[in-house]
Amino acid sequence: MSLQDYRKKRDFSRTREPAPEGTARKGRALFVVQLHHASRRHFDFRLQVGDVLRSWAVPKGPSYDPAVKRLAVEVEDHPVSYADFEGDIEHGYGKGHVDTFDRGVWSSAGDIEAQLQKGHLSFELFGKRLKGAWHLVRSGRKERQPAWFLIKADDAYAGDVEADDMLDAKMRASTRKAAKTPATKAAAKKSTARKKAAPRARRTPVAALAKAAAAISGAKARKPNGAFFAPQLARLRETPPQGDQWLHEVKWDGYRILTSIARGEVNTWSRNALPWNERIPEIVQAIEALGLDSARLDGELIAVDAQGRSDFNALQKTLSGEANAPLVYMLFDLPYLQGQDLSRTALHERKALLERLLAHAPAHLGYSGHNVGDGDGVFAMAMEQKLEGIISKRVDGAYHSGRNDDWLKIKRLEADEFAVVGYTPAKGSRVAFGSLLLAKPGAKGRWTYVGRVGTGFTDEMLRDLGKTLATRGKPKPPMPLDKIDPLLRGALWVEPSAVAEVYFRGIGNQGLLRQPSLKALRIDKAPADLHDSDRAPAKPARKTPMASDEITITHPGRVVFPNDGITKQDVADYYKAVMPWFLPPVADRPMPMLRCPGGIGEHCFFQKHTMAGLHHVGTAKLKEETGAQAVYLYPKDEAGLLELVQFGAIEFHPWGSHVKTPDKADRVIFDLDPGDNVAWKRVIAAARMVRGFLKQLGLESFVRTTGGKGLHVVVPLAPAAKWETVRTFARGFAEAMAEAHPLEFVATASKKVRGGKIYLDYLRNGRGATAVASYSLRARAGAPVAVPVRWDDLGKLKSGADFTIHTVPKRLARQKKDPWEGIDAVKQGLDEVMEQLGL
């Protein structure tokens, strides 16, 4: 994108239009539509993409009728500052008057540049006049300038309204004044004759909800108040509470937003009482569409990635204008509705009312579903899906501001080791220092700053460090250091001399740790050891395999499955017993693992990168979805797998590709995940149905239990296919199955549509996505195992958790034939299939 053409066409000494210099802008990516009375009257439609406004001239203006395709001629990019321009262009190119027709923010679910290059941009507008979903589609017509069509999507805002219908008095006067040619006179006459407002989204009937709210035990009539209200907060716990008196929700990775509605006016607030309406107009519009007179809503603002998961980095970038990800307000409480104070009613009744309210709500409002009881299972699911954690709440709890034990948060934390390279001076009552400054090894002997940690220290640690490390600081780093935080003030630097193990919640935009907390100071490690950790480049594979007797299992009597008395040694013995079947399919694949160092009753977490202390596991530097490079671990042999068990690994979740060919998949996996009240026989029948449809496409498939409720149907690929092809096929197939059998399947992860149906999960088919390995244990009560089975034996099973740590070795001992024998000899690809499906 360049502003060169914009500069060429203008003499800035004669025009009032803004020069392109100094056009940087902070905040949400904006759109603007300007009514331009040039020689030919038209509407200039502009979308901010990066640091410019991509621009199209739309002669007749936008139409809300989805059947109308409005010609949009692509013109030169404009500076972002042009969005503020109004008035007369007195000389040269584009001479005429300019009015602002509409202005707001916009978003798109996909890669904007890729969509534009492909010739079809799907997006949403959040302005005063233009709302809802729209399309820009490149025309096949040959014109001097690229021609597109601007088309309204058929959504809740669609209707019989044209741009001229929405002109205000000022714009109508400008139109009449500029009417010189027959065409502009006709436009002026038409704009005066027709006056319509922008259509409103269809609203949810709320009378029945108001009546239901008043009927809830504990509800009390109160006058509405549109002011900020302090939110209820959760206390941190390491493990989920037990029992059916608790419900468990996803802990969304975003920003807490409180909403007050009084007399129909919507006000949104951050957790610390800052107004947010201007920052999230799409959310405000969606709430307005509910048609409520008064309410209080509590939820989390998130950005949604391509897999439908919350993405905190995308949220930050969207709010700062660096990205355009769709935002969703995930609502989880309703303490007030239509004149009724519900703060003293039971949570489960408030949530039932909230779910009814959101049943037909706009897409930017989501309902945060929950499970009653089975906190361990919900937390395991959250870890498997790499979510931030869960929130556990008392089923019958009231809503009261502040932190209390009715709401508990259980997080999935990542942990790693870093060198201590400095400290900040102590402030207030803190002794010795404020925080430790951390770094990781970089290239050519340099160090890369990753952030600071100021919590998790004991008084003894503070005293000891105050006498040693925190006495040697210098104003400048004594070693080569990259990416120093410019916000650091008064930092003192030291040579790397200590290693800190730190919990954290992901990596932020600037490569800094998010919410780090000290786990331990590793007195057994030196900074030099970090060069052999997860940041080290891949080591060449050993020519001779390592023997498993080289691995010592420490603390063999530690109980890993507390309800079953299964110890760490039992886990190691199990993996030794199944190694001939377990290892070949997972060797040399990037393989995240679920680690439970203290057993499944304590904190468990997923780890995909290698860590200090591993000596028999392979490492590979791979590109992540964000584009950043990261060092992944992968098993090479029996010794490597047992070493991971020694480090507390219980579950193994490999990629569908190998480390040497990470961009190509040799497996397609469909996860059949049954909703509530789905009988096991239906799951078996559904798997057979999936197999039948795959066979019609010429694809052979295999089946395994998951150690949970469902089944995996696995399609081998030879030759391997690009991830984009695999993902497109998997999604298209799942959606086709859901469309052909809507009473049996759904292809969306939304809990509210999965009741009584089987979710055909295709999201395990993306670069970096994983699925549990065959013969892997699951970190669940009873120590179930994911096991390959023959299609003919499927009907003999009672559940997806039929096999356990005790029964699988016996089954393999008497097994004459591998149920998946021949899977690696199957020759089938996706090219012909994609042609059949038209994908």
- Residues serving a catalytic function are 251
Q: Which among 225, 231, 338, 348 has a CA at the least distance from the CA of 290?
A: 338
Q: Could you give the C-alpha distances from 533 to 242, 553, 611, 671, 780, in angstroms and in order? A: 37, 20, 5, 34, 30
Q: Are 612 and 533 in contact (CB under 8 A)?
A: yes
676: tokens are 């509530």
Distance CA 821, CA 755 (A): 36
Q: Which among 94, 51, 50, 99 has a CA at the least distance from the CA of 75?
A: 94
Q: What is the per-residue DSSP string for 61-116?
A: --BS-TT--EEEEEEEEEEGGGGG--EEE-SSTT-EEEEEEEEEEEE-SS-HHHHH
Query: 693 — alpha (psi -120 to 50), left (phi > 0) or beta?
Result: alpha
Q: What's at 739, amino acid-wise? A: E
How do the residues of the chain divide into helix, strand and coil, expressed in percent and rounded to 5? 25, 30, 45
Neighbours of 612 (CB within 10 A): 19
94: tokens are 């584009």
Distance CA 312, CA 431 (A): 34
Q: What is the per-residue DSSP string for 349-370?
A: HHHHHHHHHTTT--TTEEE--E
Q: Are 343 and 402 in contact (CB under 8 A)?
A: no
SS (H, E, C) 168-186: CHHHHHHHHHHCCCHHHHH
Q: Are 644 and 622 in contact (CB under 8 A)?
A: no
- Strand arrangement, sheet containing 649-652: 605-607, 593-595, 649-652
Neighbours of 275 (CB within 10 A): 11
Rounded to 5 degrees, φ, ψ at 289 are -65, -15
Rounded to 5 degrees, φ, ψ at 292 are -85, 145
- Helix (H) or strand (E) holding 680, with range, is helix 680-696
- 161 class by beta-carbon count within 10 Å (0-12 exposed, 13-18 middle, 19+ buried): buried
Distance CA 27, CA 284 (A): 17
- Helix (H) or strand (E) holding 46, with range, is strand 41-49
- 272 class by beta-carbon count within 10 Å (0-12 exposed, 13-18 middle, 19+ buried): exposed
Beta bridge partners of 473: none
CA 499 to chain centroid, in Å, comes to 32
For strand 265-270 and strand 295-303, is the pairing parallel, antiparallel, or unpaired? unpaired
- 838 class by beta-carbon count within 10 Å (0-12 exposed, 13-18 middle, 19+ buried): exposed
Q: Give per-residue burial for 620-642: e unless 16+ CB within 10 Å, then b.
A: bebeeeeeeebbbbbbbbbbbbb
Neighbours of 228 (CB within 10 A): 18
For strand 788-789 and strand 702-705, is the pairing parallel, antiparallel, or unpaired? antiparallel
Q: Reply yes or no: is the peptide bond before residue 79 cis, omega within 30 of 0.
A: no
CA 117 to chain centroid, in Å, comes to 25
The residue whose two tokens read 């070795």 is 809
